[in-house]
Amino acid sequence: MNATPLAIPDVLLLQSRLWEDDRGFFFESFNQRELKELVGREVTFVQDNHSRSSKDVLRGLHYQVTRPQGKLVRVVAGEVLDVVVDLRKSSPTFGHWIGQVLSAENKKQLWIPEGFAHGFLVLSDTADFLYKTTDYWAPDCERCIAWNDPELAIDWPISSGPIVSAKDAQGVPFHLAETF
């Protein structure tokens, strides 16, 4: 597995070695030993999640306080723009965001450590999004930052408003968000 640090260095773009022939393909999507080496610490996942969303659905920007989650995310059908926002006050990239296209075709994954808000926009007709988390979902700890916060100025590739849940529509401005 190859890892490429992104503009926020603790967020890694992961690409597995792919074996492909006329029958199809194979790749190892997760290996605990390799992830530990790439991340520089032991990472234990406790929950796997799978969401399916339609074109222009935007989920996020989600995170948990007191029980933050690291995430290993990938798309197994379709294509999304995956976005992470650094919420670690001590980080030189605090308040910065990065976006990465993840798709079934490119087979890329993102490692998102604890301390980040996360969201994605579906670019294809539908997308199946899989992610492993380092802590369980804790509704009382869950928070949401407004997807269209002017301070963050995330460049979502959408001409009109996205489709968001009622909960995500109530996301708070970045300057009011609880941070780490």
- Which active-site residues does the annotation give? 62, 131
Q: How far apart are the first and last CA of the chain?
A: 30
On whether the CB atoms of residues 133 and 69 are closer than 8 A, the answer is yes
Beta bridge partners of 151: none
Beta strands in the chain (DSSP E): 2-5, 12-15, 18-21, 24-27, 47-54, 58-64, 71-77, 79-86, 97-103, 109-112, 116-122, 126-133, 142-144
On whether the CB atoms of residues 129 and 50 are closer than 8 A, the answer is yes
Q: Which of 42, 6, 132 is nearest to 15 (CA)?
A: 6
